[in-house]
Chain A
Amino acid sequence: MSEYSRATDSFRCDECSEEMAVPLFCDHCGTNYPERRGMGPFAVLGLEPHFDIDDDVFDQREMALAARLHPDRWQSRGERTHKQAQLAWSSVNEALAKTKDPFARAETLLSDADDQDDKASVPQGFLIEQLELQEELEEAVSSERRKALNKTIRRELKELKRQLLGHFEIIEASQSAGSAAGNAGAAAMSAAWTVVHMSRYWRNAQRALRGGAAQGN
């Protein structure tokens, strides 16, 4: 997976010709490139768009970029440059938010490849299961039960992530074979969308569980 962790092109600053940490802002001379704001999140981070990327890759990338780009490093370089550094860094944060979490990453990749199909349906049985879970969450459940529920949610999300890995293997293989519209690829994409949708239900349940705990103060 590591061969995918760095994008091939790196950007050089038009002003000072130094290699930039991100394409949006030169961390040597402070030149800003607002026209590149629309770049995809993988490009902002300098990563190849790809599903199977380890959490550590994002962590390392974030830490390395922070060391060069974080606005605190630019606090004494004038208000304007500081503001631009803040914007550049907030773009890095946004890019991370769209790529680091596997389900967000899947959604980003799927939306890029196929912008129409966000309508994949989830199985009926799954919906009923979720409705029951929601009812249970609304009742005041004991802390033991909450812990157990949390464990279940974590296990289910792990399983969904495993499924996504399989789907993307097929999607990416069919893409590189130049047959994105091929049957296997299309079926895998639809299945991946379903997984993304299912993950949302679990995430909501997780938030409801945590939100309840956070309100305890």
Chain B
Amino acid sequence: MQIQLKVKGQSEDVVVGIDLGTTNSLVARVIDGKPTVVEDRHGRAITPSVISIDEEGHAVVGDEAKQRALLNPTGTLTSIKRFMGRGLDDIEDVAHLPYKVVKADLGDQAAILVHGKKYLPQELSAMILTEAKKRAERAQNLRIRRAVITVPAYFDDAQRQATRDAGRIAGIDVLRIINEPTAAALAYGLDSAKRGTVLVYDLGGGTFDVSLLKLTDGVFKVIATTGNTRLGGDDFDNAISDVLMSDLTEPQRAAIEGDSKALSAIKTASEQAKIALSSDESTTVELDFDDIDVALQRTITREDYEVAIGPLLDKTMTAVEFVLEEADLDPEDVTEVVCVGGSTRTPAVRERLAKEFGKQPHTELDPDKVVALGAALQAQMLAGDGTGDAVLLDVTPLSLGIETYGGGVTKLIWRNSPVPIRATEGFTTQVDDQTAVAIHVLQGEREMAADLRSLGKFTLRGIPPMSAGMPRVLVEFFIDANGILKVSAKEMTSGVKASIDVTPTYGLTDEQVEDMILASIDHAEEDIEAHMLADKKTEAESMLRYSRKAMTEQGHIVPEAIRAGVEAAMAALEEVLQGTDKEAIEAASEILNENTAPIASAMMNEVLRVTVHGRTIGEVLGGQGPRTKASDINLSADS
């Protein structure tokens, strides 16, 4: 018997692009100049952005978490991206969510309550990033340190910052946060076109974006972008759910809405129906909820579906008209239309776009993978020497301003300004010897501070004591290439650099991020140690079990001396298994393995002999079950 050893070798340090999606996340890298989605050992390219947390607080992420959705409905978290950098008040549709959203302990941001513990969206997204990263690393023996992460073009500063923090918590050096539509245009290699205008229509799981890009000789410029952070494929699913439930009576509907298991089941059925309706003309959904005594059967035609999503499609087309207007362009001026996001598989979406622009949209690349592919290209470019590749010129999606006396706002940077960009504003004091000034930074298009999104409050300190109105504090707002705001300040008459205390409204302070990184590293190390020990123990225990079985059933086929050796090795292993010494367990396992080798080879001969008589390997090895486990086969074939 043999323990499989992990291949130890130099792992390859690579940069990747990560599409941190609302429903799914993907990792891609460039191999020989070609962007490729990294598959894990099981050939899975997609990590579902799903987390399942059990009552003890243990979390699993991805496919496993998705499988637990029905068993653990209140602890299975989906669509985390919707809460990134958001406050509790921003979140609509709380009724459609099977889990609880509460106010976080710090700031105004939303947190998710699972089995009595609060989790921040950044922490949860970091878990998804970590899982996606680990899968890719293990599958291809890679080491991922640096990455480009994509966000919807319409993400504001707080949302971008939250994404960046999630990356940092997951131990990733985030090279750039880039816009999903830009990544998509890159993936299509549209930068090789001499010049043109590209409209990217991105209807993902939970967000909708539309962007206009202008390209000239390898330089991409986002000229206008808009979107809706609360519209996506999930809403298509909800529209189907509403159709499914439309025949039910009011009490039946109430019963379903009060039962998170039933809600989950309806959501899953709706998603399947949506996928079926991309190719079929109609589909029938049948669900039985014994617990609440409700049965549901409904046939949905493609027409029903198109009617149900009609208002959603109208919303997206309003946004399309809006960007065209903002860029002062007509539909005829658009040279290419690119579809991104799984929801663009819905034929009605493609038809609407073809009709609006008089040309077929690009759908050659998998709309679920195209963003990750483009991000990988950008990551490669940023990590390389930066020559000869496409350059992205991004714009800030929302205006930035500061609150003025009386609740008004002064806009310092207008929406759709190219980034990086700087703006400066002078401040002074109101009373004599005032040494601090508070500044409230806001983002959005409306005119009153109360209607805008608060990014944070800055307090300038260390202003030299002077008469009121004398100090001239120059504050510089700098939006960097990632669309993230940095603030610095200087008192001009004295030259004193004012210090700034930042209280982000929705994000985390640097210290909080550091703490989270440290916590995750501490835990990661503990986790790895604990996992390795548990793995070794499990392996050793199963080896003991098989050895004991082999000795009882097949011991007679080997000489007494060998049997004694096996007995001694088994006793030694049992002894060390009481403790937690990983190396000792490993060594004792190895000794047992050597001692049982002769039995295994004798058994192998036996297997070969009896298989001829129509018995399976499993049966020969004493298994009662009809199926042969892969590990059983290994056990004999290795020796």
Interface residues of A (CB under 8 A from B): 59-60, 62-63, 66-67, 70-77, 86-87, 89-91, 93-94, 96-97, 143, 150, 154, 207, 210-211, 213-217
Contact = CB atoms under 8 A, between A and B. Distances in A.
B216 interface: yes
B427 interface: no
B252 to A, nearest CB: 33
Interface in B403-452: 415, 417-422, 445-447
23 contacts: A59-B216, A62-B393, A63-B216, A63-B217, A66-B219, A67-B391, A72-B176, A72-B391, A73-B386, A73-B387, A76-B383, A76-B384, A89-B420, A93-B420, A93-B421, A154-B328, A210-B445, A213-B322, A216-B318, A217-B227, A217-B229, A217-B230, A217-B319
B214, B226, B391 — most chain A CB neighbours (10 Å): B391
A74 B386 contact: yes
B226 A214 contact: yes
The A interface is mostly helix, strand or loop, or mixed, namely helix
A71 B420 contact: yes
Nearest to A83: B480
Nearest to A96: B418
B77 interface: no
Contacts of B326: 210
A25 B420 CA distance: 15
Interface string B368-400: 000000000000011111110001110000000
A217 B421 contact: no
A70 B382 contact: no
B320 to A, nearest CB: 12
Contact of B445 (A59, A90, A211): A211
Given A74-B386, A90-B478, A210-B325, A66 B446 contact: no
A97 B445 CA distance: 18
B416 to A, nearest CB: 10
A59, A63, A154, A207 — most chain B CB neighbours (10 Å): A63
Contacts of B228: 217
Contacts of A154: 328
B318 A76 contact: no
A213 to B, nearest CB: 5
Given A67-B218, A70-B391, A216-B318, A90 B383 contact: no
B88 interface: no
Contacts of A73: 386-387, 391
A84 B322 CA distance: 35
A71 B420 CA distance: 9
A60 B214 CA distance: 12
Interface string B220-239: 01000011111100000000
The B interface is mostly helix, strand or loop, or mixed, namely mixed
B221 A63 contact: yes
B70 interface: no
A30 B422 CA distance: 20
Interface residues of B, number: 45
The 9 closest A-B pairs by CB, nearest first: A217-B228, A211-B445, A73-B386, A90-B420, A63-B219, A63-B216, A70-B391, A93-B418, A90-B422
B175 interface: yes
B481 interface: yes
Given A72-B381, A76-B384, A94 B393 contact: no
A67 B217 contact: yes
A97 B386 contact: no
A75 B422 contact: no
Contact of B382 (A72, A89, A216): A72
A143 B315 CA distance: 12
Contact of A72 (B217, B230, B315, B392): B392
B391 A150 contact: no
Interface string B278-321: 00000000000000000000000000000000000001001100
A150 B445 contact: no
Contacts of A63: 216-217, 219, 221
Interface string B114-154: 00000000000000000000000000000000000000001
A96 to B, nearest CB: 7
Contact of A94 (B315, B422, B447): B422
A51 to B, nearest CB: 20
Contacts of B221: 62-63, 66
Given A67-B219, A75-B175, A215-B446, 19 more contacts: A62-B221, A63-B221, A66-B221, A72-B176, A72-B386, A72-B392, A73-B391, A76-B386, A89-B420, A90-B422, A90-B478, A91-B422, A93-B421, A96-B418, A211-B447, A213-B322, A214-B415, A217-B154, A217-B226
A177 to B, nearest CB: 36
A155 to B, nearest CB: 12
A72 B217 CA distance: 16
A71 to B, nearest CB: 6
Contacts of A97: 417, 421
A94 B478 CA distance: 12
Contacts of B328: 154
Contact of B325 (A62, A91, A150): A150
Contacts of B387: 73
Contacts of A91: 422
Contacts of B230: 217
Nearest to A151: B325
Contacts of B422: 87, 90-91, 94
Given A63-B217, A63-B221, A93-B419, A75 B322 contact: no
Contacts of A217: 154, 226-231, 315, 319
Nearest to B423: A94
Given A73-B387, A211-B446, A86 B216 contact: no
A71 B218 CA distance: 15
B166 to A, nearest CB: 21
Interface string B142-172: 0000000000001000000000000000000
Contacts of A77: 386
Contacts of A214: 226, 322, 415, 445
A71 B481 CA distance: 8
B484 to A, nearest CB: 12
A166 to B, nearest CB: 22
Interface in B225-265: 226-231
Contacts of A90: 420-422, 478
Nearest to A69: B391
A75 B382 contact: yes
A205 to B, nearest CB: 13
A213 B480 CA distance: 27
A210 B417 CA distance: 15
Nearest to B217: A63
B45 to A, nearest CB: 27
Contacts of B227: 217
B228, B381, B417, B481 — most chain A CB neighbours (10 Å): B481
A215 B453 CA distance: 12
A60, A97, A154 — most chain B CB neighbours (10 Å): A97
A170 to B, nearest CB: 28
A60 B216 CA distance: 8
A86 B226 contact: no
Given A71-B420, A94-B422, A211-B445, A86 B480 contact: yes
